[in-house]
Structure 1
């Protein structure tokens, strides 16, 4: 039954999307996919092989980005960031993450259904729907994807529940410049069977040195969320009505924190709060 559900989901997003050429004009949408229904970390080796390189699991100082300066351009300068913010992104493996979640009442039933019948089954995008889901903590692992020269081209951030070992998120992090853009965006791809969910986040530095990341609504080809599916020998992509903001800042006691807001259209569906501590 579940393969039919997954196939039906791909057909749905195909009907909303447009054909894309990932080897040509739409190469900015090329991202890892999973060859099986259960995602976990199975996509890492294939992604490294595509770059002629390897997966580095032995880098205790690994970061989601090799350097935040990769994002430099009009409207963003990594040198203006607070040192703690920059350190987190460049040396993520050295940080411990605690998370709290709160759903809007109208969105919780849908979130619970998606998490229970999809996220937990495929071990991907299994958003916590109850505070106690993450009460015992969440473990994270950074797997660096290197090219043939040994340079970091992306990083896998794999987060699992400490209580059960189940995967919550398995994402591929890098920087990517969208068509016509003057500066790179933070690119996050969540592999799925025969497709993926992708988010392009526009970075900004606020006056206090904190980081603001935003995936707004807008035209196809701009920052925001996308669903990409492979179906019938072709690839289709659609904008998704999901918008996110991340505010990464240092509080008045010197603790690094993140406020993460997920919206469906204009309505807030979920809030997540992260406390980040250097190991």
Structure 2
């Protein structure tokens, strides 16, 4: 796999070519954790980000959540009190929940997904989406580490998910509540660190009358909720909005079991659907 490492700087140059140069101090909403090495080292990127915050990392913290208080999402059109109690508990105490998963790829995109998984995902240990149903048949293990600032306040959560069947890492993500400059309320900001860069997704929350929660990154212009690729060359940063759109629907089924439907699209075409069953550990 080391022989494929030359692909990483090539892809960064591609994103530099198609992206725009940004001042990361002005567009601080795109300032996020990254990796210093090709293979994403979870402990390393979390330690580096904690250092940026002059804080510390609480590794694999029991009962830790991706969002310390769902009230942080409050704003026009969204009252966190309307979200089902189980969903709020999942986000505030994520490590206290276990996860089963199912994946269904579009036949059109499966070959490309398999190629990307082999060339990048499994090699760099990041965004290695499961390609086959049996890959996730035994569920996923997950750990949450809390990154605190100098005052001890949680600013970011590192959520690492691995396949229980073989221990392979699927996602290494940084989760926090973020606010876009032109938005009237907060979004869920997810960052997947990569070498000298990151994939970032801003997800706009929406609550249904039944207490279910939608998190959506829909089409739009630069600066809105959506997916972004950010790369760094020395002190220069380049960013582009990518046409990847995701929806997460968290809801309680008829037996009050917490479930999530996750759909990932490229432009308007569905690439993969994932379903999660979430139960208190």
Structures share fold, TM-score greater than 0.5: yes
Q: CA deviation at 1:58?
A: 5.5
Show the counterpart of 1:83.
85
Two-structure CA RMSD over aligned residues (Å): 1.0
Instruction: Give CA-to-partner distance per residue, 1:15-46, whole Å, 9 cap, x none.
Output: 111001112x2111000000000004020101
| Alpha-carbon distance between aligned partners in 2 of 1:159 and 1:136, rounded to the nearest angstrom | 13
Show the counterpart of 2:39.
38
Q: Is the 8 A contact 2:87 2:258 kept in 1?
A: yes
| Alpha-carbon distance between aligned partners in 2 of 1:238 and 1:127, rounded to the nearest angstrom | 22
Q: CA deviation at 1:186?
A: 0.3
| Alpha-carbon distance between aligned partners in 2 of 1:113 and 1:259, rounded to the nearest angstrom | 25
Q: Does 1:228 align with 2:204?
A: no
Q: Give the number of aligned pairs.
A: 278
- Of residues 102, 107, 130, the one that matches 1:100 is 102
Q: CA deviation at 1:77?
A: 1.1
- Of residues 259, 275, 278, the one that matches 1:276 is 278
Task: For structure 2, list consecutive stretches of 5 or more residues without a partner in the other structure.
Answer: none
| Alpha-carbon distance between aligned partners in 2 of 1:64 and 1:233, rounded to the nearest angstrom | 30
Show the counterpart of 1:125.
127
- Of residues 232, 254, 257, the one that matches 1:255 is 257
Q: Is the 8 A contact 1:262 1:269 kept in 2?
A: yes
- Which runs of structure 2 are paired with 1:172-183 in the superposition (5 Å)? 172-183=174-185
| Alpha-carbon distance between aligned partners in 2 of 1:88 and 1:203, rounded to the nearest angstrom | 15
> TM-score by structure 1 length?
0.97
Q: Does 1:141 align with 2:143?
A: yes
- Which runs of structure 2 are paired with 1:156-195 in the superposition (5 Å)? 156-195=158-197
| Residues 126, 58 of structure 1: alpha-carbon distance in 2 compared, 3 angstrom cutoff | closer
Show the counterpart of 1:9.
11
Q: Is the 8 A contact 1:71 1:175 kept in 2?
A: yes
| Alpha-carbon distance between aligned partners in 2 of 1:45 and 1:265, rounded to the nearest angstrom | 35
| Alpha-carbon distance between aligned partners in 2 of 1:54 and 1:102, rounded to the nearest angstrom | 38
Q: Is the 8 A contact 1:40 1:167 kept in 2?
A: no
Show the counterpart of 1:29.
30
Q: CA deviation at 1:52?
A: 0.8
| Residues 228, 47 of structure 1: alpha-carbon distance in 2 compared, 3 angstrom cutoff | same
| Alpha-carbon distance between aligned partners in 1 of 2:60 and 2:245, rounded to the nearest angstrom | 34
| Alpha-carbon distance between aligned partners in 2 of 1:35 and 1:8, rounded to the nearest angstrom | 16
Q: CA deviation at 1:141?
A: 0.1
> TM-score by structure 2 length?
0.97
Q: CA deviation at 1:231?
A: 2.6
Q: Is the 8 A contact 1:11 1:231 kept in 2?
A: no
| Alpha-carbon distance between aligned partners in 2 of 1:271 and 1:112, rounded to the nearest angstrom | 15
Q: CA deviation at 1:113?
A: 0.6
| Alpha-carbon distance between aligned partners in 1 of 2:67 and 2:80, rounded to the nearest angstrom | 12
Show the counterpart of 1:56.
58
Instruction: Return 240-249 or 176-185, whichever deviates more.
Output: 176-185
Q: Is the 8 A contact 1:73 1:184 kept in 2?
A: yes
